[in-house]
């Protein structure tokens, strides 16, 4: 037989005579080539199929009425922490604990940090701002959009700039993230001005979609991170978690979502494990399935809403990490896709 171009002579054990096997014929070589082609054909087809699949899921940016948006200033001051008397938080099992909560400058829980692993209740990350006047408080909370720029007007940190990262309903605080060095210069009562833009934003190339509490800056960042419109007209949105509407609690019953949030209940261990809720972080972009937030928060089969985690866990019945709405579609024209890194810290380069 031939091996790498050389002829090998074999000897018959019975006759002791040399035996020269036949070399492969031209037909044999053709047969081997045909077999190789047949074996490689499925792989080639699979590669072609992958290319077709990739091209069929190409996304186009979400178009909005950007040129119509109004930009104006709203003002708030760093809010002092507030606590009830007595200061206990009562859990569903009847136990009571006194814990840190809303307001203030929170130095060690900020955007990107755990919203779950803490000895706190409704803790707001970074810096909380508010105002004592009710009408001005509403203006601050409704006009401020996630991703808006904030400038410090008074105190040792005057001139420093931060970013809106969420809104907390009930207490009506707006949360602001700053670069690390600024925190040592901030003080309770420092005044801040938000350059508010985004309220009134409407989609132009997706039907049955509503935009809430989102700045153009965040819209652009989410687009850069993979959000876009599919060929079938559905908005694809990367999220860290998909959460069932059945476990959403405090915050239901309002007739709008232009401010505030509503809470993810975390009292069922099986549900917490199944949806990996223990890994929730401040600033995570999450999807809430079967939730319609167009004009208030309701359960609607097939609806999808997307929001950002804005405050921490709670041990009080009906409460938990809070979510401020960013996008909602009553007819389900939002398709969440998993991306564990979809967090404001990365999207807006905050930390």
Same-domain status, 212 and 298? yes
Same-domain status, 207 and 189? no
What does the pLDDT look like over 65-78, one tens digit per residue?
999 999 999 999 99
Neighbours of 295 (CB within 10 A): 13
Domain with 338, as residue range(s), is 200-347
Mean pLDDT of 30-54: 42
With cut-offs at 50, 70 and 90, classify the pLDDT of residue 218: very high
Same-domain status, 214 and 311? yes
Rounded Cα–Cα distance for residues 70 and 143 (Å)? 10
Identify the pLDDT of residue 125.
98
Identify the pLDDT of residue 276.
98
Give this prediction's pTM.
0.84
With cut-offs at 50, 70 and 90, classify the pLDDT of residue 32: low
As for how many domains the chain has, the answer is 3
The SS3 call for residue 8 is: coil
Same-domain status, 288 and 210? yes
Question: Does 58 fall in a domain?
Answer: no
Q: Where are the alpha helices (DSSP H) in 193-336?
A: 216-224, 269-274
Same-domain status, 219 and 321? yes
**CATH number (domain holding residue 270):** 2.102.30.10
The SS3 call for residue 18 is: strand
Same-domain status, 74 and 161? yes
- The CB-side HSE value for 315 (13 A sphere, CA atoms) comes to 18
Rounded Cα–Cα distance for residues 181 and 47 (Å)? 51
Same-domain status, 285 and 334? yes
Q: Which residues contact 74 (CB under 8 A, 6 or more apart)?
A: 136, 139, 140, 143, 144, 193, 194, 196
* Confidence check: pLDDT of 156 > 60: yes
What does the pLDDT look like over 239-287, one tens digit per residue?
999 999 999 999 998 899 999 999 999 999 999 999 999 999 999 999 9
Mean pLDDT of 68-90: 96
Rounded Cα–Cα distance for residues 201 and 220 (Å)? 13
Report the chain's mean pLDDT, rounded to a whole number.
Answer: 88
Same-domain status, 93 and 218? no
With cut-offs at 50, 70 and 90, classify the pLDDT of residue 24: very low
Identify the pLDDT of residue 269.
96
Same-domain status, 225 and 245? yes
Same-domain status, 113 and 237? no
Identify the pLDDT of residue 172.
95
Identify the pLDDT of residue 17.
44
* Confidence check: pLDDT of 225 > 90: yes
From 179, 197, 215, the end of a domain falls on 197
| Least confident among 45-49, 103-107, 278-282, 286-290 | 45-49
Question: Does 177 fall in a domain?
Answer: yes
Identify the pLDDT of residue 19.
41
Question: Does 57 fall in a domain?
Answer: no
Identify the pLDDT of residue 280.
98
From 177, 197, 217, the end of a domain falls on 197
For residue 123, which of 101, 90, 99 has the smallest C-alpha distance? 101
* Confidence check: pLDDT of 212 > 90: yes
With cut-offs at 50, 70 and 90, classify the pLDDT of residue 12: very low
């Amino acid at each position: 037989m031939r091996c790498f171009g050389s002829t090998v002579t074999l000897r018959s054990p019975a006759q002791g005579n040399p035996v020269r096997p036949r070399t492969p014929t031209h037909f044999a070589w053709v047969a081997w080539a045909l077999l190789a082609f047949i074996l490689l054909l499925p792989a080639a087809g699979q590669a072609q199929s992958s290319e077709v699949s990739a091209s069929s899921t190409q996304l186009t940016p979400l178009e909005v009425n950007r040129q119509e948006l109004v930009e104006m200033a709203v003002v708030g001051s760093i809010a002092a922490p507030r606590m009830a008397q007595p200061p206990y938080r009562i859990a569903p099992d009847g136990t009571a604990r006194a814990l840190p909560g809303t307001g203030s400058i929170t130095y060690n829980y900020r955007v990107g940090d755990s919203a779950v692993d803490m000895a706190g209740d409704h803790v707001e990350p970074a810096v909380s701002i508010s105002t004592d006047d009710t009408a001005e408080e509403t203006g601050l909370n409704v006009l401020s959009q996630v991703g808006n720029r904030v400038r410090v007007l008074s105190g040792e940190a005057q001139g420093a700039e931060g970013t809106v990262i969420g809104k907390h309903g009930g207490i009506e605080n707006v949360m602001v993230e700053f670069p690390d060095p600024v925190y040592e210069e901030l003080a309770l009562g420092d005044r801040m001005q938000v350059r508010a833009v985004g309220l009134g934003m409407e989609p132009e190339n997706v039907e049955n979609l509503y935009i809430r509490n989102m700045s153009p800056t965040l819209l652009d960042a989410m687009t850069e991170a993979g959000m876009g419109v599919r060929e079938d007209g559905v908005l694809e949105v990367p999220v860290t978690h998909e959460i069932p509407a059945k476990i959403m609690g405090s915050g239901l019953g309002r007739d709008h979502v232009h401010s505030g949030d509503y809470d993810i209940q975390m009292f069922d261990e099986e549900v917490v494990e199944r949806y990996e809720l223990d890994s929730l972080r401040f600033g995570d972009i999450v999807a809430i399935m079967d939730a319609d937030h167009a004009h208030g928060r309701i359960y609607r089969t097939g609806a999808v809403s997307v929001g950002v985690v804005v405050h921490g866990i709670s041990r009080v019945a009906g409460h938990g990490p809070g979510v401020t709405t960013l996008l909602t579609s009553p007819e389900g024209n939002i398709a969440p896709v998993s991306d564990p890194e979809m967090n404001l810290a990365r999207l807006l380069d905050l930390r």
